[in-house]
Amino acid sequence: MRLLLAALLVLASHVEAQTYPTKPVRWIVPTGPGSAVDVNARRVTSKLAEALGQPVIVENKPGANSMIGAREAARSAPDGYTLYQAVVNNAINDALAPDPCCVLNDKLIAVTRLYTTPLVMVVNPAVPAKTLKEYVAYAKANPGALTYASGGTGAITQMVGELLKLTAGIEVREIPYKAIGAELPDLTGGHVATAFLSPVVIRDHVRAGRLRALGIADVRRLPIMPDVPTLAEGGVPIEGLGWNGIFVPAGTPQPIIDRLQADISKVLRLKDMQDDAATLGTVAGGERPQEFAAFVRGEVQKWGKVIKDAGIKAE
């Protein structure tokens, strides 16, 4: 009898996947309208709607370091009609102060990665360092004299700043801001020395000499900033990636998850999508659910160690 029930459930899920979707799909974004995450969402959803044959409606649910959107998604029906665009902060939350309602790879199940953006370490030109090695040497000679901007407790910019300090053995004071990117005026004005920002945000400032780029927080250089070395080339082998990807409520039938991954991956492989990603200094994803889930587990483990070693506490 159990085998029969199991077979019937599998058959039902396949039938459901074959007819899916029969109504509009909502796509929850944990940031506000006009943000980089939101812009990416709207570019993908317009093309995904064509593939699915149904509208894909973006709903912005910003707040609580991306947790408001996560909670909304986790309590939705597991039927493929609610997608959640998780960001790196969700993985950091799971390491810092996990909310049992919406832990990634538990209450929210991985579908595929959308975009990955390596952060760039930049300094105000007044900082007496033209390379990362000079920056580290100066910081060691002047403990606490340098500052770095973060998006506050649990932000990816805080994680990269603390990882740099731990790996290089230096003391740099954190200056928290209410949001990532809010520090830019103070950074160009010389009120804060260091920041870790996306390439599209700082590229023009670097070209104009308003900022100096010391390194890319990735394993390879960026095509849009080919002259900037990686942090590893500068002697500090660390990575700091901003990323986002799609999750669905636990219990969503696997055939529907596979359908969503396949269609999203096709969208991301379109030439105009690839070209736009390269222009922005990002990398389009599209991995299978298992691969994306493994990547997220690695991120939770990595930033969990930084949180422990740096003594970071949830506010």
Q: pLDDT digit string (tens) for 237-293?
A: 999 999 999 999 999 999 999 999 999 999 999 999 999 999 999 999 999 999 999
The arithmetic mean of pLDDT across residues 212-221, rounded, is 97
Distances in Å between the alpha carbon of 95 and those of 99, 155, 263, 306?
A: 10, 12, 31, 10
User: What size, in residues, is the chain?
Assistant: 315
- Compute the distance between CA of residue 127 and CA of residue 134 in angstroms, rounded to an integer: 10
> Where are the domains positioned within the chain?
2-117+241-310, 120-216
What pLDDT does 11 receive? 46
What pLDDT does 157 receive? 95
Q: pLDDT digit string (tens) for 33-45?
A: 988 899 899 999 9
- pLDDT-based confidence at residue 17 (cuts at 50, 70, 90): low
Residue 227 has pLDDT above 60, yes or no: yes
Backbone angles phi, psi at 224, to 5 degrees: -80, -10
- Compute the distance between CA of residue 102 and CA of residue 94 in angstroms, rounded to an integer: 9
Contacts of 78 (CB under 8 A, 6+ apart): 248, 249, 250, 251, 252, 253
Q: Residues 45-83, buried b or exposed e (16+ Cβ, 10 A)?
A: bebbbeebebebebebbbeebbbebbbbbbebeebbbbb
**Chain-centroid distance, C-alpha 56:** 21
The arithmetic mean of pLDDT across residues 117-136, rounded, is 98
CATH superfamily of the domain spanning 120-216: Periplasmic binding protein-like II (3.40.190.10)
Contact between 285 and 112 (Cβ < 8 Å):
yes
Instruction: Please give the DSSP secondary-structure letter assigned to residue 66.
Output: G
Contact between 120 and 283 (Cβ < 8 Å):
no
Q: pLDDT digit string (tens) for 79-99?
A: 999 999 999 999 999 999 999
2-117+241-310 and 120-216: identical CATH topology? yes
Taking domain 2-117+241-310, whether its CATH number is 3.40.190.150 is answered by yes
Return the percentage of the chain with pLDDT > 90, whole number.
Answer: 88
Residue 8 has pLDDT above 50, yes or no: no
Contact between 201 and 181 (Cβ < 8 Å):
yes
